[in-house]
Amino acid sequence: MNPWYSVLISLFIVIGLVLIALIGVGSIGLNSLFGVYIPYVAFAVFIIGFIWRVVEWARAPVPFKIPTTGGQGKSLPWMKHEKLDSPFTTGQVIVRMLLEVFLFRSLFRNVKGELRGGPRLTFASSKWLWLFGILFHYSFLTIVLRHLRFFTEPVPQWVQLISSLDGFFEILVPTFFLTDAAFLLAATLLFLRRVVIPQVRYISLPNDYFPLLLILGIGISGILMRQVFHVDLEKVKELAIGLAAFSPTVPKELGSVFYVHLFLVSVLAAYIPWSKIMHAAGVFMSPTRNMANNNRAVRHINPWNYPVKVHTYEEYEDDFRAKMKEVGLPVDKE
């Protein structure tokens, strides 16, 4: 497939989803469908799919000890042990996982290889990808936490604190949150990385572009809803609390852009368990990360092993002792 087809296919799908919501609400008046039923179905698909994927990963046997190592393992006393890059104990594995989950340590240590004049293979640091990645994920997390104010009454103080810090500079009216700008910037740069760099574009598929474009659509529609079309947030909270309490009522004052935003969020939620975004849970289930490099000290038992009936040497000798003695072969028992 031409790499550009993947971009166009993903873009057309996202545009189609936007048009579905606009036509469904603006022209047909399916407010309840897009405001209640689709979010409920998407949430159910997300929960069921998430649990199913995690259970399937947990049930998968790990026949080999395959931790990823990036340094010297525990060996002789005079050899320095790299505890984070080659963890030996469960505690070292936990520290390594925490650094991976919260700071993307392996991505931070990533290097880029290039062929330069000669040709000569050179390696250089590639921290910009780590920066975009961590900016994107923490902005996304902050936005999700901020949205909890729509589902709670009264709003927890820590949610109010996050919102206050996020809108500290009080730019525009209503306040334009810093994480909104950081989120769009990081998502855009991650998308452009796949489009601009030929090597990355060549290996990218529609399922690489689609979630990025979908997330961009969610971010853009959210900013438009807040800064341009000025959707009534009290009505949004009324719907959100109703959804959380399983007694939803759909206010008539909500505009089409809100339903576009909610529909895209619902599509993303339903899509997550079946996509690469499940790495959020998969990182905890990966044997390359959650296993200790202690092969020399602890025997790893293959979970696929099952009892096998064997024919021992003693039994073999009992069966063929006479013939073995006849041809002069030594035997343990006379």
Q: Give residue 118's pLDDT.
A: 66
Q: Give residue 106's pLDDT.
A: 87
Q: Give residue 45's pLDDT.
A: 97
pLDDT bucket at 1, cuts 50 / 70 / 90: low
Domain boundaries, the chain: 3-326
Neighbouring residues of 79: CB distance < 8 A, sequence distance ≥ 6 = 72
> What are the helix (H) ranges across 60-197?
90-103, 105-108, 127-146, 157-166, 178-196
Q: Between 206-223 and 3-22, two packed helices, what is the crossing angle to 10 degrees?
A: 40
pLDDT at 79 over 70: yes
**Per mean pLDDT, which of 61-70, 205-214, 289-298 is the most reliable?**
205-214
pLDDT digits (tens, 9 = 90+) for 257-281: 999 999 999 999 999 999 999 998 9
191/118 Cα distance (integer angstroms): 32
Q: Give residue 332's pLDDT.
A: 84
Side chain identity at 252, as an amino acid letter?
K
CA distances from 10 to 195, 209, 277, 318 (A): 13, 6, 16, 70
Q: Which of 165-179, 223-237, 267-281, 306-320 has the lowest mean pLDDT?
A: 165-179
pLDDT at 227 over 80: yes
CATH topology of domain 3-326: Fumarate Reductase Cytochrome B subunit (1.20.950)
pLDDT bucket at 309, cuts 50 / 70 / 90: confident
Our CA dihedral for 31, 34, 40, 43, rounded to 10 degrees, sits at -150
pLDDT bucket at 171, cuts 50 / 70 / 90: confident
Copy the structure tokens of residue 159: 């949610």
In this prediction, residues 239-246 reach a mean pLDDT of 92
Mean pLDDT for all residues in the chain: 90
pLDDT at 127 over 90: no
Q: Is the dihedral of CA 316, 322, 327, 329 positive or negative?
A: positive
Q: Please give the model's pTM, rounded to 2 decimal places.
A: 0.86
**Per mean pLDDT, which of 38-52, 98-112, 314-328 is the most reliable?**
38-52
Element housing 121 (H / E): strand 120-125
**Per mean pLDDT, which of 9-13, 167-171, 283-287 is the most reliable?**
9-13
In this prediction, residues 190-217 reach a mean pLDDT of 92
Q: Which residues pair with 113 in a beta bridge?
A: 123
Q: Which of 118-132, 175-189, 269-283, 318-332 has the lowest mean pLDDT?
A: 118-132
pLDDT at 256 over 80: yes
pLDDT at 211 over 90: yes
In this prediction, residues 181-195 reach a mean pLDDT of 93
pLDDT digits (tens, 9 = 90+) for 20-51: 999 999 888 899 999 999 999 999 999 999 99
Three-state SS for 115? strand
Q: What are phi and psi of 254, to 5 degrees?
A: -70, 135
